[in-house]
Structure 1
Amino acid sequence: GEDVGWKGVVTVRVDKREDGREVEARVRKEIQGLEALINKSNHPKSNRDVRRRDPVTPQDTEEESKNSERRYESWINLISKAIQYMNLGNMSKVVLARCVPYTPPGAINVSSTLSSLSASFPECCTFFIKLPRRPAFLGATPERLIRLRGTRMETEALAGTIGRGRNADEDMENGAKLLASLKDRKEHQLVVDEIRGLLAPISRNLNIPPVPSVRKLKNVFHLETNIEAELRDDAELFDLVEKLHPTPALGGTPRDVALKWMAKNEGWERGWYAAPIGWSDREGNGEFVVAIRSALISEQDSKVWLFSGCGIVPGSNPESEWEETNVKLRAMLEALRADSEA
C-alpha cells in the first residue's frame, strides 16, 4: 500500500531548576508515546477495524468490506444522534434496530432453520408466519407480551443485555456485571415502571418483584422481571395487547415521542419485526409474544433480511450497542448456516 508520512511535534514544559538529563528523559518518553500512537493508527487490522464488521456481510472483497463499514458508521451516527436528543430531556429511552440483508450460500430450507432455532433456544417461542406469495417471517423470541387466562394475566419486562462468557467463570462474571450495571438497571426499570403504570388502574392485584433476575439464553443474558396481575372483570385480551405494545423494551419512553423519533430517524420500515403475534380462543384467553430475534426469508430467490435491536439510554455506548446487535444477529445466522450445511 501507499506509505503515509507522519510529522509530529512534542512540546515539553521545562522548569529552569530541572536537570538537563531529566528534561531529556521526559522528551524521550513523549516521543515514544507519539510513535506508539502513529504505529497504532497505521496498523491495518486494529481492534476498531474488527469491531466495525458485522457478522452477516462477507469480508471477501473490498466492496463487501465497504458495505460493512457503511453500516457501522450509519449505526454509530444514529445512536449518537439519539443520545444527543435524550440529553436535551426529550425522551428517556428509544429502541433502535438494524435490518441487514444476507445472501445464503445455497438454497434455504425454512423447516430446517426453524428446527435449528427451536433446538438452540428451547426457552424461547419459535414462530413462523407465511402468507401466499410473500416471504416467510420467522424467529425465536424470548419476550412474552401477555398471557391471559380468565382474569389472571402474566407479562414481563425484558431489558438489559450482556453476552455470554467464553467459560463458566466468565459466564458468572458477566451475569454479575449485568446485575450491577447502572445503565442496564435504569433501562430495565423504565420498562417495569411503564408496565406498572399501565396495569395498576385495571388490576385488583399487581405483583412486581422489587429487583430483576438474570435470564440465561444460549448467546446472551437478559435482565428479567416477571409480572403477574389479577385483572378487573372487564379487561379483554386485544385491548391489553394494544395497551401494552410497544413497551419501552421495544419502542421507548415516552412512547409517543420515542416512536415518532424512531420513524423519522431509523431509516427503514419495520413491518412485522417486533410486532405482537399470538393466539386467542373463544373465551378470550390467549398469549402474545413480540416478534424479535427474527428474519424475513424469501425461499424463491434465496434472499434474507435479518433483524436485531437494542435499547438506547443516555448512558449508552454506540460501539457496545453495535456489538450487542451483532451478538443477536449471529443467533439467526447460525440457524441459517446450519440449514445450508445440513
Structure 2
Amino acid sequence: MQSALVARTVAVPAEAAADLISLLPTDAPLSWVRRGEGLVGWGSAASIRTTGPTRFADGVKWWTELVGHADVTDEVGEPGAGLIAFGSFAFADDAAVSSVLTVPSVVVGRRGDIAWVTTVGRGSSLDAPPLTRAEPPARPMGVTYADGALDGEQWMSAVAEAVARIEDGRLEKVVLARDLLATASETVDVRWPLAQLASSYPMCWTFHVDGLFGATPELLVRRERGLVTSRVLAGTIRRTGDETRDAELAGALSRSSKDLEEHEYAVRSVADALEPHCSSMNVPEAPFVLHLPNVMHLATDVTGVVHDGITSLELAAALHPSAAVGGTPRDRAVTLIAELEQMSRDRYAAPVGWMDASGDGEWGIALRSALVSGPTVRLFAGCGVVGSSDPASELAESQAKLVPVRDALGG
C-alpha cells in the first residue's frame, strides 16, 4: 500500500514570490496566476485521470480520500496553502481525452503580502526548496498557422445553420467554437507563452495544467470560507485602441439587444445551477463592461453563501457547461455543438483551476486557451450565437479571441 502524502507549508518573504511564473522549471509546471498573485507548482506527488460523465465525481472522491489520509502541516492558513491539487477537465461527457487532477511536489503561493511554499511527498516531510528564477524559456521559433477542423467559410456556414435552428425555436442560444493549429520549428516551452500572457493580460487568470494553457477572463466559480462567486461573461466587442472610440463601443455593447440577450441566458444558467447549493444568492440586475486589452465583455458577478460540505469542484461540475460556453437549453445546445463544430473541444471551455484540502478553490473556464504538444499548439475560440447573430461578425469576434495566444506565441 502506498504511504500517505505529507505536506508542509511554511511562510516565505513576499518578495521571494514577486514573479511566480519566473520560478517555474520545465518539470511539469502548473500555474494559476492573476495580477501577480495565485499559485504555481511543479513536479507530481500524486495524480488521477478520469473520463466520462463521472469524471468530476471520480475526482472529488479521489481527492477526499487523499486528503483524509494525508499528514498536513500548514503554518499559513490561507486558501491555497496546505495540500492542493490543480485540475483540468474535459468539456464533453463522451470525450476521449482524460480529465486530470494533480498534486505538485512543490507549490509556491502568494496572496497580497503573504507568500508561502508547500512541499509534498510520501512518508516523510521535505525541506522547502530555495526560491530562485528558473532557467528562462526559449521563444517559439518558426511558428506557422493552419486551419483546424473548419476554415473560416465553413465555420460561418455552421453559425448560419445554428441561427436557423434558433429561429426555428429549437433552442435559444448555442456557443460555437473553432480551432487553429500552430506549428513551431521545435518543441514549445509552455513557460514562454505563460509569461507573455501573465504580462499582457494581468486581469485574467493565467493557467497551465497538463498541456492546456491560457489566460481566461472568466471565473467559473470561487469557493472561499463559505462564500461562492461566479463571474459570467457573455457579449463581446473588439477594442480599437482609441480610448474615445472604445468608450463609445463600450456604451454600444451595454445597450446591444443581441449581447444583452446572450448575457441574460448565461447569467440565468449560472444562477439556476448554483441555487440548489446556496442558502442565499445575489444576482445583479444589470451587467458591467469588463475592459481587456483586446476586447470588452458584458460581465456579471453572481455571489452566494454555499451549503457546508460542497467543494469548489462539485460547484464547478454543477455549473458546467454554463450557457456562456454551451447554450440554452443546455442539452440541445451541447448536442448541436457536437454536430456543427466537427471537432473535439478536448479540455477547452471546461473547468480549470485548483482546490485545497478544505474544498476551497478557484475554477475558471478554459478560454483564450490552447493545447501544447511538442512543436504543435492547438488554439481555440468560441462565440455565443443567438437569433440575431451575423456569421461574419461572429468570425471576426473569434479572431479577436485568438489574439492573446497568437501574440503569446510570437504572432
| TM > 0.5 | yes
Pick the aligned partner of 1:89 from 159, 163, 169. 169
TM-score with structure 1 length normalisation?
Answer: 0.74
Deviations 1:172-205 (A, max 9, x none): 1111111010000000000111122222333222
Per the TM alignment, residue 101 of structure 1 is displaced from its structure 2 partner at its CA by 1.1
Partner SS state of residue 337, structure 1:
coil
Shift in CA distance, 297/238, structure 1 to aligned 2, threshold 3 Å = closer
Residue 316 (structure 1) aligned with residue 396 (structure 2): no
Residue 210 (structure 1) aligned with residue 262 (structure 2): no
Paired position in structure 2 for 1:168:
243
Aligned equivalents of 1:232 and 1:114: distance in 2? 35
Partner SS state of residue 333, structure 2:
helix
Per the TM alignment, residue 76 of structure 1 is displaced from its structure 2 partner at its CA by 1.2
Contact residue 198 and residue 206 of structure 2 kept, 8 A: yes
Paired position in structure 1 for 2:158:
78
Aligned equivalents of 2:351 and 2:402: distance in 1? 20
Paired position in structure 1 for 2:410:
337
Q: Which stretch of the first structure deviates more once superposed, 325-334 or 229-238?
A: 229-238
- Which amino acid is the alignment partner of residue 184 of structure 1? D
Per the TM alignment, residue 145 of structure 1 is displaced from its structure 2 partner at its CA by 0.7
Paired position in structure 1 for 2:198:
118
Residue 127 (structure 1) aligned with residue 224 (structure 2): no
Which structure dedicates a bigger proportion of its chain to helix?
1
TM-score with structure 2 length normalisation?
Answer: 0.62
- Which amino acid is the alignment partner of residue 251 of structure 1? G
Paired position in structure 2 for 1:283:
358
Which structure dedicates a bigger proportion of its chain to strand?
2
Aligned equivalents of 1:334 and 1:196: distance in 2? 34
Per the TM alignment, residue 91 of structure 1 is displaced from its structure 2 partner at its CA by 0.6
Contact residue 187 and residue 376 of structure 2 kept, 8 A: no
Deviations 1:206-255 (A, max 9, x none): 11111000001110000000111012335333321111011100111100
Residue 240 (structure 1) aligned with residue 320 (structure 2): no
Shift in CA distance, 105/162, structure 1 to aligned 2, threshold 3 Å = farther
What is the count of residue pairs matched by the alignment? 268
Aligned equivalents of 2:245 and 2:257: distance in 1? 20
Aligned equivalents of 1:330 and 1:149: distance in 2? 32
Structure 2 residue ranges without an equivalent (≥5):
1-142
- Which amino acid is the alignment partner of residue 161 of structure 1? T
Pick the aligned partner of 1:195 from 270, 289, 297. 270
Q: Identity over aligned residues, as a percent?
A: 38
Partner SS state of residue 239, structure 1:
helix
Q: Which stretch of the first structure deviates more once superposed, 206-215 or 101-110?
A: 101-110
- Which amino acid is the alignment partner of residue 309 of structure 1? G
Aligned equivalents of 2:358 and 2:222: distance in 1? 13
Deviations 1:15-58 (A, max 9, x none): xxxxxxxxxxxxxxxxxxxxxxxxxxxxxxxxxxxxxxxxx976
Aligned equivalents of 2:215 and 2:245: distance in 1? 25
Which runs of structure 2 are paired with 1:40-79 in the superposition (5 Å)?
A: 71-79=151-159
Contact residue 352 and residue 364 of structure 2 kept, 8 A: yes
- Which amino acid is the alignment partner of residue 122 of structure 1? P
Higher relative contact order (CA 8 A, sep 6+): 1
Q: CA RMSD in A?
A: 1.9
Partner SS state of residue 162, structure 1:
strand
Aligned equivalents of 2:318 and 2:189: distance in 1? 37
Contact residue 280 and residue 286 of structure 1 kept, 8 A: yes
Which runs of structure 2 are paired with 1:5-24 in the superposition (5 Å)?
A: none
Per the TM alignment, residue 298 of structure 1 is displaced from its structure 2 partner at its CA by 2.4
Per the TM alignment, residue 332 of structure 1 is displaced from its structure 2 partner at its CA by 0.9
Larger radius of gyration: 1
Paired position in structure 1 for 2:223:
148
Deviations 1:289-321 (A, max 9, x none): 11111111223xx22211111111111000000
Paired position in structure 1 for 2:349:
274
Paired position in structure 2 for 1:305:
378
- Which amino acid is the alignment partner of residue 195 of structure 2? S
Partner SS state of residue 289, structure 1:
strand
